[in-house]
Amino acid sequence: MEVIRLVAGAYFGVGDTVLILKPTFGEYELAVEVAGADIIEQWQMKRAALSLIWI
């Protein structure tokens, strides 16, 4: 998780806008918030449902 924060801090900052496709690992959003960038969320539920393996 520390690597995610380091990369986000290196690439994003105040005034940047980041698109996060959800559902995803929650650490991405937190890292972008800490870096100071704005977040746009886009839910991809239909796509995510197609990639699930149902048992």
User: Domain residue spans in the chain?
Assistant: 2-50
Residues 27-49 have a mean pLDDT of 87
Global pTM exceeds 0.85:
no
Contact in structure between 5 and 34 (CB atoms under 8 Å): yes
pLDDT band at 53 (very low <50, low <70, confident <90, very high): low
> How many C-beta atoms lie closer than 10 Å to residue 38's C-beta?
12
Residue 42 pLDDT level (bands cut at 50, 70, 90): confident
Mean pLDDT of the chain: 86
pLDDT of 30 above 60: yes
